Structure 1
Amino acid sequence: MLDWNEYRKELGGRIGEIGKLSPDTLRGYQTLSGAGAKTGHLDAKTRELIALAVAVTTRCDGCIAVHTAAAKKEGATVDEVAEALGVAVALNAGAALVYSARVMDALADTP
């Protein structure tokens, strides 16, 4: 298994390198990343649970490393994380089902 703490540190270093080479790119990302917190509509824990579900659906290991730590910091429980991940699993299965319907449609349309 991956050492997530070490990976998170290494990732931070590499992202720092990108920030030095392209500071506006990193600033733009940070602006996007922090925008939700400014509205006050969702609390930090809920945003982190959503981030974990999205991290799974987008298959982003870096996102998993960062947002798992943040979710724990915000007080997310194992049960809450598991429920958020269940939503991710259901959405991925749903997307596969929808795209399966598209295949069937393309198949019916193909001579």
Structure 2
Amino acid sequence: MLLDWISYLREGRRAGAKLAKANPRMVEGFQALSAGQNGNGALDARTRELIALAVAVTTRCDTCIAVHADRARQAGVTEAELADAMGTAVALNAGAAYSYAMRTMEAFEQLGAKDGAGTPAS
């Protein structure tokens, strides 16, 4: 087992309550943002939770994974649907690395060209 997700979710809620007590306005703002995220109602709960889990994977947020895996189960997401969403997240992360590799190559090229010698000028 990688992590005891049931305990992690419980402890995350406990820590969240402490944060809410220490900074209620910030937490209220976060909760309002979360509540408004499906403002037009175009997506059903299952789709929203699958998107949330894919984003949680790409942002490496364990708390998000715990919360949204729980909500996905409640929304009726199947293991096959989750596996497809995870495949998308993995492909997107690889795509992001590919995209940033291109940016790095371009930066290296441009920075080398600024002094004409392939290395930055001092």
Indicate the TM-score class for this superposition, using the shorter chain for normalisation: over 0.9
- Determine the structure 2 residue equivalent to 1:58: 59
- Determine the structure 1 residue equivalent to 2:115: none
**Which deviations, in whole Å up to 9, do the C-alpha atoms of 1:21-45 show, x marking residues without a partner?**
1111111111111112342110011
Q: Which structure 1 segments of 5+ residues have no match?
A: none
Runs of 4+ more than 3 Å apart: none
- Normalised by the length of structure 2, the TM-score is 0.87
* Greater share of residues in helix: 1
Q: Which structure 2 segments of 5+ residues have no match?
A: 113-117
In structure 2, C-alpha distance between the alignment counterparts of 1:36 and 1:79, rounded to whole Å: 25
Task: Mark the structure with the bigger radius of gyration.
Answer: 2
How far 1:80 sits from its partner (Å)? 0.5
How far 1:108 sits from its partner (Å)? 1.8
The secondary structure found in structure 2 opposite 1:79 is helix
Q: Does the aligned pair in 2 maintain the 1:37–1:44 contact within 8 Å?
A: no
The secondary structure found in structure 1 opposite 2:77 is coil
Higher normalized contact order (CA 8 Å, seq sep 6+, divided by chain length): 1
Count, aligned residues: 111
RMSD: 0.9
Return the letter of the residue paired with 1:95: A
- Normalised by the length of structure 1, the TM-score is 0.95
In structure 1, C-alpha distance between the alignment counterparts of 2:64 and 2:18, rounded to whole Å: 18
Return the letter of the residue paired with 1:69: D
In structure 1, C-alpha distance between the alignment counterparts of 2:14 and 2:40, rounded to whole Å: 30
Q: Does the aligned pair in 2 maintain the 1:45–1:74 contact within 8 Å?
A: yes
